[in-house]
Structure 1
Amino acid sequence: MEHITLLLGIVIITALVFDFTNGFHDTANAMATTISTGALKPKTAVAMSAVLNLVGAFLSVEVAKTISKGLVNEEGIQPEVIYAALVGAILWNLLTWLVGLPSSSSHALMGGLIGAAVASAGIGAVNGGTLVTKVLLPAIAAPIVAGVAAMLAAKITYRLGANVGEKTSAKGYRAGQIASAGLVSLAHGTNDAQKTMGIITLALIAGGALAPDADPPVWVIVSAGVAIALGTYLGGWRIIRTMGKGLTDLQPQQGFAAQTSAAAVILSSSNLGFSLSTTHSCSGAVMGAGLGRKGGVVRWSTATRMFVAWGLTLPAAALVSALAELAMRTGDVGIAAVTVFLVGSCVAIWLVSRRQVVDHTNVNDHGDEEPGVVTTAIAAVAVPPAGVAADADADLKATIPAPAAHAAGETPAAPAAAV
């Protein structure tokens, strides 16, 4: 193994923590529809997803190369910059998990890396061409392409199943859903695990442990795959609830159409080296499939809040990471302060989440809690489109549970302010 300094070791561990949060944050991408339609039991679904995430991590390194060699200039990037980038990404992942909002772990990482690099070396540290062509444009195109494909696929599946009876058709598509969910999990491993591989490789290059332009070492690939698989197995139940029940009500035919379309988009982007958001792709596919059934609807109030979170992800992570990088310029004291802030914020968010537990036993329940203060704060800048039915907000309230303290009228805890 390459020579690893103490700081570099801390950066690698933090990167694997991010990979772990990526796993449980994005489990919903693969398994939310499978769980919500009853095709698989919740624990079985996340176990299957974890194994396939691990396998997918070994299939390609093209996305890792985009991050380690393309997004920022390697010259002048120090391990402290990578550490600061991970701080912003981890906090955003945990915050959006707490409130049950599907957001992009990929964009949180990209935003953190951009913010820290700019704070350290100026705007010239970012390769604008790579950012636009391999991050921003795919972010816009992926949910649209996946949504249109899923809508058309859903219409076709219903038409093909019209002559075999609804029950027979649904049973067949449940089996298809399991297969397509496995494909999405495999695709998630090929795309998202590589992002951590790329960030660790960049840190190793920055710390002098690897030569410039080096590919990810085998131990980096293995550790990133294991970390994301472990996070996936633990399951991001809050986000699974939103994806499975909050956006639309799916039947097995629609679930199959959504997952197959999302997997095709994700696997294609991985092969091309695009740092695609699996969250954007799967969310777009779920909404498209929802519209693909006659009488199907999308709860646009939930979707609007989700879109706002998407828009805030990159700049919010960039801002926190930039501030962390500036703090670490003071030396060891600054690095220690940032570390304490990160650990304290993570613990506080976890404690708040324990007030209203969502797990495999109640992930498909609707509940009647009010949305939490953090959700309201994130969504405050969003005004639901005119004409949205009044019950749409009720659907969101039922989807995203609030901390018990807020429901009781107490002052909520403050970890959300960390981002």
Structure 2
Amino acid sequence: MSDEPMDAATPAGAEAAGLAPADRPIFFIHTPKTGGNTVISHFLAFLPVEQVFPPPPQLTLLDGDFATARERLPGLRFLHGHVRVTLTGLLPLERLRLVTFVRHPVRLVASHYLYFRHMPELPMHQAAKALGIADFLRRYPSYGTNPQTRYLTLALGLRRPGVHQEVSEQALAALEHFDFVGVTERMQDSLTALSEHYALPNFPPARLNEGKASRDEVEATEAVLRRDEFLMRLGADFLLRREAEERLEKWFATRRAAQARGALLQGLKGAAAMPWVAARAGDAALSFLEGWHPQGWVGEPRDGAQYWWTEDRARIVLASASGRGLRIGMHVVETLGFDPARIRVILGNRLLKTETAPAEPGAEVSFRIDAATFARHRRTAVIELAGPRSATFAELDPATADHRLRSFAVRRFTIEPLED
């Protein structure tokens, strides 16, 4: 176990402090121009106003609000706000579940600048109105230099980087404090995931943020921001965005796997309709998850001529209703020039041992899952398959213009029970 001090603002720190995560209010740290009004409206669709702070239409937590928030915390379910100060010492972060949303860096900077241009009451309106986006950012570089990373590190009390300082590590450090991170460009997906993550109702969005700038104005502004001069200032925010996207994808992948595992096991037990399976033997079966191309055939479509290409990584789901150990075989009919023995079979973080034997055509790659492993995984297992090399169809045949990744092709799967 690490000797480093544990930060109670992180989920791990909160658990170590003996706090019940499900009882902690949600605190949405609202980075400007990330679609936060839509997020707030999502909670206002079902929560009593008395359980929301600050109450609508206020969006910013001002100096005097923090004492009120602390006093009212036992009766609150949702806190939110733009913040202009470090929250450490102002709010008990260890008693909150932190949420934020991240937006594509170019779109966020463009949106912020155009917001200034179209809102005369704002202090920066005259500057944005008088200057094009390039000159505006040259004169006021902080608006175009990793604004999301800098905003979150300030709010969380992390070491605040300078305007031109390398801050990639700060981006990842900031996200580690959050229980949930959404992606603005995938607002509906993010709200769905957030609702399921916290067991909340999921109403259709009450409002979607719309700016006052025209589409032409937005596109022209974003085009300027895609110059190297400005992209190089957004490296940490791009890392932040990629990490947020990967988190969201991982959440959906975990949900799909859980649903597939449950459906397969219930079908084998006769408790529900049996889903489609790629292979079955007795009370054990196997099916595809994600990472597979549609079925193809060598020559005419017929049984025994079919194949499925994997993408660079693919997943299958297995179930053994009795919990008995299984030997899984894959007839690999084609690879991208590599030895099928180099295909990796992964369960969780563990690389499984494989055996390879000649087949006609290709090779038979097999692996085993014993009864103890099935017992640890509730009689199901999600397996990741990865070849050492992948390429697009277009790389091998440019005439196809098909840029989907592929790695190796499987004709069939087989399942055999292991000897007790």
Structure number with the higher strand fraction is: 2
Structure number with the higher helix fraction is: 1
Higher relative contact order (CA 8 A, sep 6+): 1
TM-score w.r.t. structure 2 length?
Answer: 0.22
Larger Rg, first or second structure (1 or 2): 2
